[in-house]
Amino acid sequence: MDHVDPRRLIPRTNELLELPGVREAGTRLNGRVIRDLVQHFQEQSRRGELAPGQVASALLAAVAARRATTLRPVLNATGVIVHTNLGRAPLSAAAIEAVVAASGYVDVELDLGDGSRSSRGAGARAALLAACPAAEDALVVNNGAAALVLATTALAAGREVVVSRGELVEIGAGFRLPDLITSTGARLHEVGTTNRTHLRDYAAAVGPDTGCVLKVHPSNFRVDGFTSAVPLDELGPLAKANGIPLVADLGSGLLAPDPHLPHEPDAATALADGADVVTASGDKLLGGPQAGLLLGRKEIITQLARHPLARAVRADKLALAALEATIAGEPPPVVEALHADVGQLRRRTDTLAQALGVPVVAHEGRVGGGGAPGVALPGWALRLPEGVARLLRAGDPAVLPRVHDGSCLVDLRCVPEGDDERLLYAVRQALADLEVAGEGRAG
Protein backbone atom coordinates (compact mmCIF):
# COMPACT_ATOMS: atom_id res chain seq x y z
CA MET A 1 0.00 0.00 0.00
CA ASP A 2 1.32 3.41 -0.93
CA HIS A 3 2.22 5.63 1.99
CA VAL A 4 -0.15 8.62 2.30
CA ASP A 5 1.43 11.90 3.26
CA PRO A 6 -0.53 12.96 6.42
CA ARG A 7 -0.38 16.57 5.25
CA ARG A 8 -2.84 15.62 2.49
CA LEU A 9 -5.37 14.91 5.27
CA ILE A 10 -5.29 18.47 6.61
CA PRO A 11 -8.74 20.02 6.09
CA ARG A 12 -8.90 22.57 3.28
CA THR A 13 -9.52 26.22 4.02
CA ASN A 14 -12.99 26.31 2.45
CA GLU A 15 -14.05 23.25 4.48
CA LEU A 16 -12.95 24.87 7.73
CA LEU A 17 -14.62 28.19 6.89
CA GLU A 18 -17.92 26.37 6.38
CA LEU A 19 -17.96 24.82 9.84
CA PRO A 20 -21.05 26.15 11.73
CA GLY A 21 -19.00 27.44 14.65
CA VAL A 22 -16.64 29.27 12.32
CA ARG A 23 -19.53 30.78 10.37
CA GLU A 24 -21.07 32.00 13.65
CA ALA A 25 -17.77 33.62 14.63
CA GLY A 26 -18.03 35.66 11.44
CA THR A 27 -20.74 37.73 13.13
CA ARG A 28 -18.17 38.84 15.75
CA LEU A 29 -14.85 38.81 13.89
CA ASN A 30 -13.77 39.98 10.48
CA GLY A 31 -12.73 37.57 7.74
CA ARG A 32 -9.01 38.29 8.04
CA VAL A 33 -8.90 37.33 11.72
CA ILE A 34 -10.75 34.06 11.03
CA ARG A 35 -8.55 33.18 8.03
CA ASP A 36 -5.44 33.87 10.11
CA LEU A 37 -6.69 31.38 12.70
CA VAL A 38 -7.43 28.80 9.99
CA GLN A 39 -3.93 29.18 8.54
CA HIS A 40 -2.37 29.02 12.01
CA PHE A 41 -3.80 25.58 12.75
CA GLN A 42 -3.15 24.29 9.24
CA GLU A 43 0.50 25.33 9.62
CA GLN A 44 0.68 23.63 13.01
CA SER A 45 -0.55 20.44 11.40
CA ARG A 46 1.92 20.73 8.49
CA ARG A 47 4.75 20.98 11.03
CA GLY A 48 3.52 17.84 12.74
CA GLU A 49 2.52 19.70 15.93
CA LEU A 50 -1.19 18.93 15.48
CA ALA A 51 -2.83 15.82 13.99
CA PRO A 52 -4.93 16.59 10.87
CA GLY A 53 -8.00 15.20 12.62
CA GLN A 54 -7.57 17.75 15.41
CA VAL A 55 -7.41 20.86 13.22
CA ALA A 56 -11.17 21.42 13.09
CA SER A 57 -11.72 21.01 16.85
CA ALA A 58 -8.76 23.27 17.67
CA LEU A 59 -10.07 25.93 15.28
CA LEU A 60 -13.59 25.75 16.73
CA ALA A 61 -12.25 26.17 20.28
CA ALA A 62 -10.11 29.12 19.19
CA VAL A 63 -12.87 31.04 17.38
CA ALA A 64 -15.28 30.41 20.28
CA ALA A 65 -12.81 31.98 22.71
CA ARG A 66 -11.58 34.78 20.41
CA ARG A 67 -12.98 38.25 20.96
CA ALA A 68 -12.45 41.43 18.97
CA THR A 69 -10.18 42.75 21.74
CA THR A 70 -7.43 40.87 23.52
CA LEU A 71 -7.93 42.90 26.71
CA ARG A 72 -9.38 40.71 29.48
CA PRO A 73 -11.49 41.89 32.42
CA VAL A 74 -9.71 41.26 35.73
CA LEU A 75 -10.93 41.14 39.32
CA ASN A 76 -8.52 43.34 41.27
CA ALA A 77 -7.80 41.46 44.51
CA THR A 78 -4.54 43.27 45.32
CA GLY A 79 -6.00 45.90 47.65
CA VAL A 80 -4.39 48.61 45.46
CA ILE A 81 -7.22 50.90 44.34
CA VAL A 82 -5.61 52.85 41.49
CA HIS A 83 -3.68 50.02 39.84
CA THR A 84 -1.79 51.31 36.80
CA ASN A 85 -1.25 47.83 35.31
CA LEU A 86 -5.01 47.27 35.43
CA GLY A 87 -5.89 50.56 33.75
CA ARG A 88 -6.10 52.67 36.90
CA ALA A 89 -9.65 53.70 37.81
CA PRO A 90 -12.55 51.42 36.86
CA LEU A 91 -15.48 53.47 35.53
CA SER A 92 -18.76 53.95 37.36
CA ALA A 93 -22.02 52.63 35.92
CA ALA A 94 -22.93 56.18 34.90
CA ALA A 95 -19.62 56.64 33.10
CA ILE A 96 -19.95 53.30 31.29
CA GLU A 97 -23.44 54.27 30.14
CA ALA A 98 -22.09 57.63 28.96
CA VAL A 99 -19.29 55.96 26.97
CA VAL A 100 -21.76 53.64 25.25
CA ALA A 101 -23.99 56.61 24.37
CA ALA A 102 -20.99 58.59 23.09
CA SER A 103 -19.73 55.71 20.94
CA GLY A 104 -22.05 56.81 18.15
CA TYR A 105 -22.70 60.27 16.74
CA VAL A 106 -22.99 62.84 19.56
CA ASP A 107 -23.10 66.61 19.84
CA VAL A 108 -19.52 66.88 21.10
CA GLU A 109 -18.91 70.07 19.08
CA LEU A 110 -22.39 70.97 17.89
CA ASP A 111 -25.20 73.21 19.11
CA LEU A 112 -28.30 71.22 18.21
CA GLY A 113 -30.42 74.33 18.72
CA ASP A 114 -29.14 76.33 15.78
CA GLY A 115 -26.90 73.74 14.11
CA SER A 116 -23.72 75.77 14.64
CA ARG A 117 -20.35 74.58 15.93
CA SER A 118 -20.06 74.73 19.72
CA SER A 119 -17.31 74.51 22.32
CA ARG A 120 -15.84 71.01 22.55
CA GLY A 121 -16.48 69.22 25.83
CA ALA A 122 -18.68 71.95 27.28
CA GLY A 123 -20.50 69.44 29.50
CA ALA A 124 -17.31 68.07 31.05
CA ARG A 125 -16.01 71.59 31.60
CA ALA A 126 -19.24 72.64 33.31
CA ALA A 127 -19.16 69.55 35.53
CA LEU A 128 -15.57 70.29 36.59
CA LEU A 129 -16.37 73.90 37.42
CA ALA A 130 -19.44 72.88 39.42
CA ALA A 131 -17.34 70.39 41.40
CA CYS A 132 -14.47 72.86 41.87
CA PRO A 133 -15.94 76.39 42.16
CA ALA A 134 -12.50 77.81 43.01
CA ALA A 135 -11.58 77.39 39.33
CA GLU A 136 -12.63 80.12 36.90
CA ASP A 137 -12.20 77.86 33.87
CA ALA A 138 -11.20 74.32 32.96
CA LEU A 139 -9.67 72.42 30.07
CA VAL A 140 -9.51 68.65 29.48
CA VAL A 141 -6.67 66.95 27.57
CA ASN A 142 -5.76 63.31 27.07
CA ASN A 143 -3.72 62.61 30.23
CA GLY A 144 -1.98 64.19 33.21
CA ALA A 145 1.43 64.38 31.54
CA ALA A 146 -0.14 66.15 28.56
CA ALA A 147 -1.72 68.69 30.91
CA LEU A 148 1.67 69.55 32.39
CA VAL A 149 3.36 69.61 28.98
CA LEU A 150 0.69 71.96 27.61
CA ALA A 151 0.98 74.29 30.60
CA THR A 152 4.77 74.55 30.48
CA THR A 153 4.83 74.84 26.69
CA ALA A 154 2.26 77.61 26.52
CA LEU A 155 3.70 79.52 29.47
CA ALA A 156 7.44 78.89 29.27
CA ALA A 157 8.63 77.61 25.88
CA GLY A 158 12.03 79.23 25.30
CA ARG A 159 12.02 80.52 28.87
CA GLU A 160 12.63 79.15 32.37
CA VAL A 161 10.52 76.96 34.60
CA VAL A 162 11.52 77.53 38.22
CA VAL A 163 11.14 74.32 40.24
CA SER A 164 12.54 72.78 43.42
CA ARG A 165 15.19 70.07 42.97
CA GLY A 166 13.29 67.92 45.42
CA GLU A 167 10.29 67.86 43.09
CA LEU A 168 12.00 66.67 39.89
CA VAL A 169 10.51 63.22 40.14
CA GLU A 170 10.35 60.17 37.91
CA ILE A 171 6.82 59.06 37.08
CA GLY A 172 5.62 55.71 35.67
CA ALA A 173 7.51 53.62 33.10
CA GLY A 174 10.74 55.58 33.56
CA PHE A 175 9.44 58.95 32.39
CA ARG A 176 11.19 61.75 34.24
CA LEU A 177 9.63 65.13 34.91
CA PRO A 178 12.75 67.09 33.87
CA ASP A 179 12.79 65.33 30.47
CA LEU A 180 9.08 65.94 30.03
CA ILE A 181 9.38 69.67 30.72
CA THR A 182 12.52 70.33 28.69
CA SER A 183 10.96 68.51 25.72
CA THR A 184 8.59 71.49 25.47
CA GLY A 185 11.45 73.90 24.76
CA ALA A 186 11.46 75.30 28.29
CA ARG A 187 14.60 75.45 30.42
CA LEU A 188 14.63 74.18 33.97
CA HIS A 189 15.86 76.52 36.68
CA GLU A 190 16.35 74.25 39.68
CA VAL A 191 16.30 75.80 43.14
CA GLY A 192 17.07 74.50 46.63
CA THR A 193 18.37 71.02 47.36
CA THR A 194 16.92 67.52 47.26
CA ASN A 195 15.64 67.70 50.84
CA ARG A 196 15.32 71.45 51.58
CA THR A 197 14.02 74.36 49.52
CA HIS A 198 13.16 77.80 50.92
CA LEU A 199 11.12 80.75 49.70
CA ARG A 200 14.31 82.77 49.30
CA ASP A 201 15.51 80.19 46.76
CA TYR A 202 12.51 80.89 44.55
CA ALA A 203 12.80 84.64 45.09
CA ALA A 204 16.41 84.61 43.93
CA ALA A 205 15.54 82.62 40.83
CA VAL A 206 12.54 84.48 39.37
CA GLY A 207 13.24 87.22 36.86
CA PRO A 208 12.48 88.52 33.36
CA ASP A 209 13.23 85.14 31.77
CA THR A 210 10.90 83.16 34.06
CA GLY A 211 7.94 81.68 32.22
CA CYS A 212 6.31 80.07 35.26
CA VAL A 213 6.94 78.72 38.73
CA LEU A 214 6.13 75.02 39.06
CA LYS A 215 5.13 73.24 42.27
CA VAL A 216 5.03 69.44 41.93
CA HIS A 217 3.40 67.04 44.38
CA PRO A 218 5.81 64.08 44.67
CA SER A 219 4.33 60.71 43.74
CA ASN A 220 5.06 57.24 45.11
CA PHE A 221 7.45 58.38 47.82
CA ARG A 222 7.90 60.56 50.90
CA VAL A 223 10.97 62.41 52.11
CA ASP A 224 11.21 62.42 55.92
CA GLY A 225 13.70 63.84 58.36
CA PHE A 226 15.61 67.08 57.80
CA THR A 227 13.34 68.48 55.10
CA SER A 228 11.78 71.76 54.08
CA ALA A 229 9.44 72.73 51.24
CA VAL A 230 7.60 75.92 50.35
CA PRO A 231 3.81 75.60 50.43
CA LEU A 232 1.60 77.12 47.74
CA ASP A 233 0.20 79.80 50.03
CA GLU A 234 3.75 81.20 50.38
CA LEU A 235 4.70 80.75 46.73
CA GLY A 236 1.48 82.39 45.51
CA PRO A 237 2.24 85.94 46.74
CA LEU A 238 5.80 85.74 45.36
CA ALA A 239 4.60 84.67 41.91
CA LYS A 240 1.82 87.27 41.89
CA ALA A 241 4.17 90.07 42.91
CA ASN A 242 6.41 89.21 39.97
CA GLY A 243 3.55 88.69 37.49
CA ILE A 244 4.55 85.05 36.96
CA PRO A 245 2.03 82.20 36.65
CA LEU A 246 2.19 79.58 39.40
CA VAL A 247 1.46 76.04 38.16
CA ALA A 248 0.65 73.28 40.65
CA ASP A 249 0.93 69.71 39.38
CA LEU A 250 -1.13 67.65 41.83
CA GLY A 251 -1.19 64.40 39.90
CA SER A 252 -3.77 62.39 41.82
CA GLY A 253 -6.88 64.31 40.84
CA LEU A 254 -8.68 65.22 44.05
CA LEU A 255 -10.97 68.18 43.35
CA ALA A 256 -11.76 68.83 47.03
CA PRO A 257 -10.30 67.70 50.37
CA ASP A 258 -10.92 64.09 51.42
CA PRO A 259 -10.89 63.35 55.18
CA HIS A 260 -9.45 59.89 54.49
CA LEU A 261 -6.40 61.53 52.85
CA PRO A 262 -5.66 64.64 54.93
CA HIS A 263 -2.20 65.17 53.42
CA GLU A 264 -3.17 64.65 49.78
CA PRO A 265 -3.41 68.01 47.93
CA ASP A 266 -6.63 68.93 46.14
CA ALA A 267 -7.46 71.39 43.37
CA ALA A 268 -9.80 73.62 45.38
CA THR A 269 -7.26 74.20 48.15
CA ALA A 270 -4.37 74.68 45.71
CA LEU A 271 -6.29 77.36 43.81
CA ALA A 272 -7.36 79.06 47.04
CA ASP A 273 -3.71 79.06 48.14
CA GLY A 274 -2.61 80.98 45.06
CA ALA A 275 -2.04 78.53 42.20
CA ASP A 276 -2.98 80.04 38.84
CA VAL A 277 -3.25 76.65 37.14
CA VAL A 278 -3.69 73.18 38.61
CA THR A 279 -2.94 70.05 36.57
CA ALA A 280 -4.12 66.57 37.54
CA SER A 281 -5.15 63.16 36.20
CA GLY A 282 -8.74 62.08 35.68
CA ASP A 283 -8.17 58.35 36.18
CA LYS A 284 -6.73 58.36 39.68
CA LEU A 285 -8.53 59.60 42.80
CA LEU A 286 -11.23 61.31 40.76
CA GLY A 287 -12.15 57.83 39.56
CA GLY A 288 -12.80 58.66 35.92
CA PRO A 289 -11.29 57.96 32.50
CA GLN A 290 -7.74 58.71 31.42
CA ALA A 291 -7.68 62.49 31.08
CA GLY A 292 -5.58 65.48 31.99
CA LEU A 293 -7.33 68.23 33.93
CA LEU A 294 -6.32 71.88 33.90
CA LEU A 295 -8.19 74.22 36.22
CA GLY A 296 -7.47 77.81 37.11
CA ARG A 297 -7.62 81.44 36.09
CA LYS A 298 -9.74 82.08 33.03
CA GLU A 299 -7.18 84.10 31.10
CA ILE A 300 -4.50 81.45 31.54
CA ILE A 301 -6.79 78.52 30.68
CA THR A 302 -7.87 80.45 27.57
CA GLN A 303 -4.21 80.93 26.65
CA LEU A 304 -3.58 77.21 27.01
CA ALA A 305 -6.69 76.26 25.03
CA ARG A 306 -5.61 78.47 22.12
CA HIS A 307 -2.09 77.06 21.95
CA PRO A 308 -1.52 74.80 18.89
CA LEU A 309 -0.43 71.93 21.16
CA ALA A 310 -3.90 71.86 22.73
CA ARG A 311 -5.27 70.32 19.53
CA ALA A 312 -2.67 67.56 19.58
CA VAL A 313 -3.48 66.54 23.16
CA ARG A 314 -7.22 67.11 23.25
CA ALA A 315 -9.48 64.51 24.86
CA ASP A 316 -11.76 62.41 22.67
CA LYS A 317 -15.55 62.24 22.96
CA LEU A 318 -15.49 59.01 25.01
CA ALA A 319 -13.20 60.49 27.68
CA LEU A 320 -15.24 63.70 27.82
CA ALA A 321 -18.48 61.76 28.23
CA ALA A 322 -17.04 59.48 30.92
CA LEU A 323 -15.47 62.38 32.79
CA GLU A 324 -18.70 64.37 32.94
CA ALA A 325 -20.66 61.29 34.09
CA THR A 326 -18.02 60.44 36.70
CA ILE A 327 -18.43 63.86 38.29
CA ALA A 328 -22.21 64.14 37.92
CA GLY A 329 -23.11 60.51 38.64
CA GLU A 330 -22.95 58.22 41.66
CA PRO A 331 -19.65 57.81 43.57
CA PRO A 332 -17.25 55.90 41.29
CA PRO A 333 -15.63 52.59 42.32
CA VAL A 334 -12.38 54.32 43.36
CA VAL A 335 -14.21 56.48 45.90
CA GLU A 336 -16.22 53.52 47.18
CA ALA A 337 -13.08 51.41 47.60
CA LEU A 338 -11.27 54.23 49.38
CA HIS A 339 -14.15 54.69 51.81
CA ALA A 340 -15.03 50.99 52.13
CA ASP A 341 -16.42 49.91 55.50
CA VAL A 342 -13.79 47.75 57.19
CA GLY A 343 -16.42 45.74 59.05
CA GLN A 344 -18.24 44.89 55.84
CA LEU A 345 -14.94 43.92 54.20
CA ARG A 346 -14.30 41.55 57.11
CA ARG A 347 -17.78 39.98 56.81
CA ARG A 348 -17.39 39.42 53.07
CA THR A 349 -13.91 37.98 53.52
CA ASP A 350 -15.07 35.67 56.35
CA THR A 351 -17.93 34.37 54.19
CA LEU A 352 -15.55 33.39 51.40
CA ALA A 353 -12.99 31.99 53.85
CA GLN A 354 -15.59 29.72 55.46
CA ALA A 355 -16.76 28.48 52.06
CA LEU A 356 -13.18 27.71 51.03
CA GLY A 357 -11.73 26.55 54.35
CA VAL A 358 -8.85 29.05 54.28
CA PRO A 359 -7.59 31.55 56.87
CA VAL A 360 -8.19 35.30 56.97
CA VAL A 361 -5.33 37.71 57.74
CA ALA A 362 -5.15 41.45 58.31
CA HIS A 363 -4.03 43.22 55.15
CA GLU A 364 -3.32 46.85 54.35
CA GLY A 365 -4.51 48.21 51.02
CA ARG A 366 -3.03 51.17 49.18
CA VAL A 367 -4.32 54.08 47.13
CA GLY A 368 -1.85 53.43 44.29
CA GLY A 369 -1.20 55.47 41.17
CA GLY A 370 1.10 57.83 43.04
CA GLY A 371 -1.69 58.99 45.35
CA ALA A 372 -1.22 59.24 49.12
CA PRO A 373 2.13 57.39 49.26
CA GLY A 374 2.60 55.64 52.58
CA VAL A 375 -1.10 55.78 53.56
CA ALA A 376 -2.28 52.33 54.67
CA LEU A 377 -5.92 51.28 54.25
CA PRO A 378 -6.76 48.68 56.92
CA GLY A 379 -8.52 45.58 55.64
CA TRP A 380 -8.48 41.80 55.36
CA ALA A 381 -7.42 39.13 52.90
CA LEU A 382 -7.80 35.44 52.23
CA ARG A 383 -4.45 33.68 52.71
CA LEU A 384 -3.83 31.03 50.07
CA PRO A 385 -0.83 28.99 48.91
CA GLU A 386 1.54 31.03 46.77
CA GLY A 387 1.05 28.70 43.81
CA VAL A 388 -2.60 29.72 43.52
CA ALA A 389 -1.60 33.16 42.24
CA ARG A 390 -0.58 32.04 38.75
CA LEU A 391 -3.73 29.92 38.45
CA LEU A 392 -5.93 32.84 39.46
CA ARG A 393 -4.28 35.10 36.90
CA ALA A 394 -4.85 32.54 34.14
CA GLY A 395 -8.38 31.62 35.21
CA ASP A 396 -11.82 32.71 34.06
CA PRO A 397 -12.58 35.14 35.52
CA ALA A 398 -8.99 36.34 35.75
CA VAL A 399 -8.07 37.42 39.28
CA LEU A 400 -4.99 39.43 40.26
CA PRO A 401 -4.01 38.73 43.91
CA ARG A 402 -1.02 39.95 45.88
CA VAL A 403 1.94 37.61 46.42
CA HIS A 404 3.66 38.41 49.71
CA ASP A 405 5.84 36.47 52.17
CA GLY A 406 5.24 33.16 50.44
CA SER A 407 1.46 33.50 50.36
CA CYS A 408 -1.18 34.48 47.84
CA LEU A 409 -3.38 37.19 49.39
CA VAL A 410 -6.86 37.95 48.05
CA ASP A 411 -8.15 41.35 49.22
CA LEU A 412 -11.80 42.22 48.51
CA ARG A 413 -11.49 46.01 48.84
CA CYS A 414 -11.51 46.61 45.06
CA VAL A 415 -13.78 43.67 44.17
CA PRO A 416 -17.43 44.73 43.71
CA GLU A 417 -19.62 42.88 46.18
CA GLY A 418 -21.69 41.60 43.27
CA ASP A 419 -18.61 39.70 42.07
CA ASP A 420 -18.06 37.77 45.30
CA GLU A 421 -19.59 34.61 43.84
CA ARG A 422 -17.41 34.84 40.74
CA LEU A 423 -14.36 35.33 42.95
CA LEU A 424 -15.38 32.34 45.07
CA TYR A 425 -15.68 30.21 41.94
CA ALA A 426 -12.28 31.36 40.65
CA VAL A 427 -10.49 30.65 43.94
CA ARG A 428 -12.21 27.30 44.38
CA GLN A 429 -11.21 26.26 40.86
CA ALA A 430 -7.61 27.41 41.38
CA LEU A 431 -7.33 25.49 44.64
CA ALA A 432 -8.70 22.37 42.96
CA ASP A 433 -6.21 22.71 40.10
CA LEU A 434 -3.43 23.12 42.66
CA GLU A 435 -4.54 19.91 44.37
CA VAL A 436 -4.45 18.07 41.05
CA ALA A 437 -0.93 19.40 40.50
CA GLY A 438 0.01 17.95 43.89
CA GLU A 439 1.01 21.25 45.51
CA GLY A 440 -1.48 21.05 48.38
CA ARG A 441 -3.63 23.69 50.06
CA ALA A 442 -1.51 24.78 52.98
CA GLY A 443 -1.47 28.59 53.13
Query: Does some domain include residue 442?
Result: no
Q: Is the pLDDT of residue 436 over 60?
A: yes
Q: Are residues 265 and 378 in the same domain?
A: no
Average pLDDT, the chain: 93
Q: What pLDDT does residue 372 have?
A: 78
| Banded model confidence at residue 173, pLDDT cuts 50, 70, 90 | low
Q: Are residues 143 and 29 in the same domain?
A: no
Going from the C-alpha of 155 to that of each of 141, 300, 313, the distances in angstroms are: 16, 9, 16
Q: What is the tens place of the pLDDT at every residue in 115-137?
A: 999 999 999 999 999 999 999 99
- The CATH number covering residue 406 comes to 3.90.1150.180
Q: Are residues 32 and 125 in the same domain?
A: no
Q: What is the tens place of the pLDDT at every residue in 199-256?
A: 999 999 999 999 999 999 876 566 677 778 899 999 999 999 999 999 999 978 899 9
Query: Does some domain include residue 441?
Result: no
Domain enclosing residue 212, as ranges: 91-330
Q: Are residues 275 and 316 in the same domain?
A: yes
Query: Does some domain include residue 295?
Result: yes
Q: What pLDDT does residue 32 have?
A: 96
Within 10 Å of residue 374's Cβ, how many Cβ atoms? 11
Query: Does some domain include residue 228?
Result: yes
Q: Are residues 232 and 366 in the same domain?
A: no
Q: Are residues 231 and 360 in the same domain?
A: no
Q: Stretch 307-332: mean pLDDT, rounded?
A: 97
Query: Does some domain include residue 52?
Result: yes
Number of domains in the chain: 3
d(CA 279, CA 295) in angstroms, rounded, equals: 7
Q: Is the pLDDT of residue 110 over 70?
A: yes
Q: What pLDDT does residue 4 have?
A: 67
Query: Does some domain include residue 126?
Result: yes
Looking at this protein, which amino acid is placed at residue 155? L
| Banded model confidence at residue 412, pLDDT cuts 50, 70, 90 | very high
Q: Is the pLDDT of residue 443 over 60?
A: no
219: CB partners within 8 A, 6+ apart: 169, 171, 251, 252, 370, 371, 373
Please state whether 278 falls in left (phi above 0), alpha (psi between -120 and 50) or beta. beta
Q: Stretch 415-426: mean pLDDT, rounded?
A: 98
What 47-53 contacts at long range (C-beta under 8 Å, 24+ apart), as own/partner pairs, is: 51/6, 52/6, 52/7, 52/9, 52/10, 52/11, 53/9
Query: Does some domain include residue 443?
Result: no
- Chain centre distance of CA 51: 44
How much is the pTM? 0.91
Within 10 Å of residue 350's Cβ, how many Cβ atoms? 13
Q: What pLDDT does residue 373 have?
A: 76
Q: Are residues 41 and 153 in the same domain?
A: no
Q: Are residues 267 and 346 in the same domain?
A: no
Q: Are residues 380 and 424 in the same domain?
A: yes
- The CATH number covering residue 199 comes to 3.40.640.10
Among 307, 330, 353, the domain boundary falls at 330
DSSP state of 291: -
Q: Are residues 285 and 352 in the same domain?
A: no
Q: Are residues 205 and 265 in the same domain?
A: yes
Q: What pLDDT does residue 442 have?
A: 47
CA-wise closest residue to 265 among 245, 244, 281, 283 = 281
Q: Are residues 326 and 376 in the same domain?
A: no
Q: What is the tens place of the pLDDT at every residue in 247-298?
A: 999 978 899 999 989 889 999 999 999 999 999 999 999 999 999 999 999 9
Q: What is the tens place of the pLDDT at every residue in 13-54?
A: 999 999 999 999 999 999 999 999 999 999 999 999 999 999
Percent of the chain with pLDDT over 70: 96
d(CA 363, CA 361) in angstroms, rounded, equals: 6
